[in-house]
Amino acid sequence: DGGITQSPKYLFRKEGQNVTLSCEQNLNHDAMYWYRQDPGQGLRLIYYSQIVNDFQKGDIAEGYSVSREKKESFPLTVTSAQKNPTAFYLCASSIARGPYEQYFGPGTRLTVT
């Protein structure tokens, strides 16, 4: 089965801790994205990567970091500097950079208390 996976589905952390969200795809896509979704809101872009070892900040990158060491993997770290980290996080991929259809993972709901 080809697809994009995120783990875990639910994640709970104490304030002040860093946490890493996993995103893996076996679609052989070059581009990968991280979005944040708050209740009743649309998606806001955190980071995106068009190619291995390269990534760019999106609209709300502060308090987040990413890496792209392998084509298949694009983990997102939510650092203690992120002021309001509780949210639903979605990872997506597309075949290449550009206005292509994006394939989404099932999401990770992060709760920080």
Partner 1 sequence: SQQGEEDPQALSIQEGENATMNCSYKTSINNLQWYRQNSGRGLVHLILIRSNEREKHSGRLRVTLDTSKKSSSLLITASRAADTASYFCATDPAQGGSEKLVFGKGTKLTVNP
Q: In a 10 Å sphere around its CB, with 0-12 CB exposed, 13-18 middle and 19+ buried, how is residue 74 labelled?
A: buried
Report the residue number, 15 or 101, with the smaller CB distance to partner 1. 101
C-beta of 89: minimal distance to partner 1 in Å? 10
In this chain, which stretch among 18-26, 61-69, 71-79, 92-100 interacts with partner 1, using CB under 8 A? 92-100
C-beta of 25: minimal distance to partner 1 in Å? 12
DSSP tag of 21:
E
The span from the CA of 9 to the CA of 40, in Å, is 19
C-beta of 103: minimal distance to partner 1 in Å? 7
